[in-house]
Amino acid sequence: MSLEKDIESFVKSLDLELYEISVAKDGEDSIYRVNVLSTELVDGKKRGVSLDECVHLSRLISPLLDVTPPMSCDYRLEVGTPGIERKVSTLKQFILSVGERVSITLKSKEKYKGLLLRVEDSSICLEVDGQEICFEFAQISKAKTYFEW
């Protein structure tokens, strides 16, 4: 089993979803980031992930990373959420973002903002100004969730 699959098993054991694993640099420091979302809906929206849940998950993952280091250098583990406004770059991330507002730029430079209704195979469907618009995932150059204040 791969390290990512092992981490995903720990995440799922806490009723959370793995959003992404990334590596970042902060000056001289290397950071191994594990971002998660809640699977639980509250009033039609995903419940936030608590600090206690992040700490618990970090304590579950740390021994695994001691045995199977994710990087060949020293690093810092960060467990958190990707945030309310975050990039959406994979089909899985689109699926995890259904019900949220997204901004999409197509490779043709067209831009759309709306409610992400569903993902079917590789088709991404939004509600934009009361109309449903669908795109193929391959047409999208960038996307992110956004919050309307």
Task: Please check whether residues 7 and 74 belong to one and the same domain.
Answer: yes
Domain interval for residue 97: 91-145
Number of domains in the chain: 2
Strands 41-42 and 29-38: unpaired
pLDDT value of residue 40 = 86
pLDDT of residue 89 exceeding 90: yes
List the one residue out of 36, 32, 29, 40 whose CA is nearest residue 10: 36
User: Does residue 129 fall inside a structural domain?
Assistant: yes
Task: Please check whether residues 67 and 110 belong to one and the same domain.
Answer: no
Instruction: Provide φ and ψ at 27, rounded to 5°.
Output: 65, -120
pLDDT value of residue 1 = 62
Full-model pTM: 0.86
Q: What is the mean pLDDT of the chain?
A: 93
pLDDT in tens, 37-67: 998 878 777 888 999 999 999 999 999 999 9
DSSP assignments along 92-134, one per residue: HHHHHTTTSEEEEEETTS-EEEEEEEEEETTEEEEEETTEEEE
pLDDT in tens, 7-34: 999 999 999 999 999 999 988 899 999 9
Task: Please check whether residues 56 and 12 belong to one and the same domain.
Answer: yes
